[in-house]
A and B are shown apart, each in its own frame.
Chain A
Amino acid sequence: MLAWHMVVIAQERFPRPEFETDYTYPEYQLPAARHAAWEYIDTGVLILVLSVTTWLALKKRSRQGLVWISLFSLGYFGFFREGCICSVGSVQNVALALFNDGYSIPLTALLFFIIPLVYALFAGRVFCAGACPLGAIQELTGIWPKKLPRAVEATLATIPFIYLALAVLFSATQSQFIICRYDPFVGIFRLNAPYTMIIFGALLLLAGIFINRPYCRFLCPYGVLLNITSRFASRHLSITPAECINCRLCENACPYNAILPSDLEIKNEEPAVVRRKFITYLVLIPVFVVAGAVALYILSPGLSGANYDVKLAREIRLEMKEGIPAASNAAIAFKGSGRTDEQLFTAETEIIERYRKGGPWAGLFLGLSIGIGLFSLAIRTERTEYRPHKGKCYSCGRCFKYCPVKPKTEST
């Protein structure tokens, strides 16, 4: 049995027209992508801005200068380059490239990741002070700073560590880039975003009028890396241009609780107590590490739901098993894709396996951070002067004008 209708030999259903008039196909110009040179210009600007900021914060000690340079960064990296690429997000590119063979990292992403950390190693968090557009927009809107109670500050300050651990885990397993997805200010830089994004950004900025730099302090995952690196900085901004006279005038200058007071007047504890504390908290570090690793190992399959394939596989399995129709766009596309259920489930198992491998390391990092944090609080450090906490200080220079001491060079 056969029917004879038009057999379409080529793939096209309707033959290409043969025009009798001298019609020619319109020239179709697709706009080119942004020139690659911009990426290098960005890197150059970044280095320049960081150098200027370092000079302003460490040498010139000019708060006004720092404000202007962050205004420039906000304009350039924020509004002109529309917030992409940024160092904060580059963490994910690095994680993705480190753990996946199929992805090669753009050179600029790597440079944006490395350069601010290198500066932090030599001069503290100058990136936060002058180059980061996210920091700049918050610094400029932080008009009436109010201090937060220490307990609240300490609790909220753990969030960036969790955020970083999850962001690395998700990007290393090719699941998603949560830092970019929940970037609060990029919508403002582009003057265009889903309204949920805008509302989140606006709320953070409003809160930031009183609680300065809320994103930097309680969310920023890149800040964690800068914090750790900056603790070992060879040089750092100082509150006083010369010798600290312990006048205590700067005590309330820092909205970030990042000034370590001098402890000249504090009694020394008994050596036995000190030793006991030292040993207790040293032992606690591995306890936290193990607890973190175990907790995230258990949690990791649950987290794998952030992955596209795992999510899809769950939907398909629910349909297979409980008859709940898999009606999402992804499920419909999957059914039409020629990919078999088997392949999907194999992919799912592989990804969960990767989560199981990566999860404990993320937990280990969290446990180690908390353990070391506790340990460093427990051991007494002796300070004869008021100085910034190298990890927490954003080098914003607010404290400069609180110090009555004049630089030595000026007095001569």
Chain B
Amino acid sequence: MGMGNNKYQNRRDFVRKTGKILVAAPLVFIPAMLAKKIDAKGYVWQIDPLKCTTCGQCKTHCVLTPSAVKCTHKYEMCGYCDLCGGYLRQGVRTISTGAENQICPVGAIKRVFIEEPYFEYTIDEKLCDGCAKCVRGCLDFGNGSLYMQIRHDLCANCNECSIARACPSDAVSRVPVDAPYNIKDRIGPL
């Protein structure tokens, strides 16, 4: 400053002003361009049970341990079978609650007798680690009433969900915050 070289000073001021306009422009234009694409409510991640292939990566690819994905039970779709594909390992000979018969590696499914011949199956979410083995069993031999969902009390709602990136069937996608679950109502896929 104070060098008295007005020519340089003016030139520098000009560069500075132009630069300022250039960097300020995007701050105005970007919001203007996005004005129509703004979603005030935001979104969360969720699994589409009809696309899910029960590959088991929900358990391994969530940034959280244990995974924020848990098995969910749509009781209204359940057959309440004694021989439950989601509870018992394939090919078991005896139907009992013994560990040797259970499909769930952490014993998170509770089996309760309701009435002849029906049994109710309940998921203990504290234990469930999201491996989807029971979901596979239920899809193969049952009504598909067990399905995987992301629990929003656990989910960190990452900007890009790690499971979505790993999901082989593109089943994890953004859903609106006010409809955060994909409740299953049919066995699909058709």
Q: Touching in the complex, A and B, CB below 8 A?
A: yes
A contacts, CB < 8 Å to B = 11-17, 19-21, 23, 25-26, 28, 30-34, 36, 39, 82, 84-85, 89-90, 92-94, 97-98, 103-110, 113-114, 117-118, 121, 176-177, 180-181, 186-187, 190, 192-194, 197, 228-229, 231-232, 234, 308, 328-334, 336-337, 382, 384
A28 in contact with B19 (CB, 8 Å)? no
Contacting residues, chain B, for A333 (C-beta < 8 A)? 53, 55, 168-169
Enumerate B165-185 residues with CB–CB distance to A below 8 Å: 165, 168-170, 177-178, 180-181
Q: What residue of chain B has the Cβ atom nearest to residue A384's Cβ? A: B1
A39 to B157, CA, bound (A): 12
A14 in contact with B81 (CB, 8 Å)? yes
A383 to B97, CA, bound (A): 82
What sequence of 0s and 1s flags, for each residue 54-90 of chain B, a beta carbon within 8 Å of any chain A beta carbon? 0101000001110000001111111111000000000
A333 to B54, CA, bound (A): 10
B11 to chain A, nearest CB (A): 11
A105 in contact with B44 (CB, 8 Å)? no
Contacting residues, chain B, for A92 (C-beta < 8 A)? 159-160
A94 in contact with B34 (CB, 8 Å)? yes
What sequence of 0s and 1s flags, for each residue 1-28 of chain B, a beta carbon within 8 Å of any chain A beta carbon? 1110000000000001001100110010
A92 to B159, CA, bound (A): 9
Enumerate B32-55 residues with CB–CB distance to A below 8 Å: 33-34, 37-44, 53, 55
A370 to B42, CA, bound (A): 37
A229 in contact with B23 (CB, 8 Å)? yes
Other A-B pairs beyond A14-B142, A30-B149, A176-B160, 4, CB < 8 Å: A31-B151, A97-B34, A103-B37, A110-B31
Report if A17-B118 is in contact (Cβ < 8 Å); known contacts: A12-B143, A333-B169, A384-B1. yes
B142 in contact with A23 (CB, 8 Å)? no
A97 to B156, CA, bound (A): 22
Contacting residues, chain A, for B143 (C-beta < 8 A)? 12-14
Q: Does B100 contact A (CB under 8 A)?
A: no
Q: Chain B interface residue count: which class?
A: 35 or more
B113 to chain A, nearest CB (A): 11
A13 in contact with B168 (CB, 8 Å)? no
- Total number of A-B contacts with CB less than 8 angstroms? 180
Contacting residues, chain A, for B20 (C-beta < 8 A)? 121, 232, 234
* Cross-chain contact of B30 among A19, A98, A308 (Cβ < 8 A): A98
Q: Does B122 contact A (CB under 8 A)?
A: yes
A330 to B168, CA, bound (A): 4
What are 15 pairs between A and B in contact, CB < 8 Å? A13-B142, A23-B120, A30-B149, A31-B153, A32-B152, A36-B177, A89-B159, A90-B159, A106-B39, A186-B63, A190-B63, A228-B23, A332-B53, A332-B168, A333-B55
A105 in contact with B41 (CB, 8 Å)? no
* Cross-chain contact of A121 among B27, B165, B168 (Cβ < 8 A): B27
Q: What residue of chain B has the Cβ atom nearest to residue A382's Cβ? A: B3
A232 in contact with B19 (CB, 8 Å)? yes
A14 in contact with B149 (CB, 8 Å)? no
Contacting residues, chain B, for A15 (C-beta < 8 A)? 79
Report if A107-B19 is in contact (Cβ < 8 Å); known contacts: A14-B142, A16-B76, A176-B165. no
Q: What residue of chain B has the Cβ atom nearest to residue A93's Cβ? A: B159
A84 in contact with B165 (CB, 8 Å)? no
A384 in contact with B27 (CB, 8 Å)? no
A23 in contact with B114 (CB, 8 Å)? yes
Contacting residues, chain B, for A105 (C-beta < 8 A)? 34, 37-39
B168 in contact with A328 (CB, 8 Å)? yes
B63 in contact with A25 (CB, 8 Å)? no
B38 to chain A, nearest CB (A): 5
B31 in contact with A334 (CB, 8 Å)? no
Report if A82-B156 is in contact (Cβ < 8 Å); known contacts: A14-B142, A107-B40. yes
* Cross-chain contact of A98 among B34, B79, B181 (Cβ < 8 A): B34
B181 in contact with A107 (CB, 8 Å)? no
A328 to B73, CA, bound (A): 28
Contacting residues, chain A, for B3 (C-beta < 8 A)? 382
Report if A181-B160 is in contact (Cβ < 8 Å); known contacts: A98-B34, A121-B24. yes
B184 to chain A, nearest CB (A): 11
Report if A177-B160 is in contact (Cβ < 8 Å); known contacts: A16-B76, A190-B63. yes
Q: What residue of chain B has the Cβ atom nearest to residue A88's Cβ? A: B159
A234 to B170, CA, bound (A): 47
Contacting residues, chain A, for B95 (C-beta < 8 A)? none
A385 to B85, CA, bound (A): 78
A31 in contact with B152 (CB, 8 Å)? yes
A231 in contact with B181 (CB, 8 Å)? no
A157 to chain B, nearest CB (A): 19
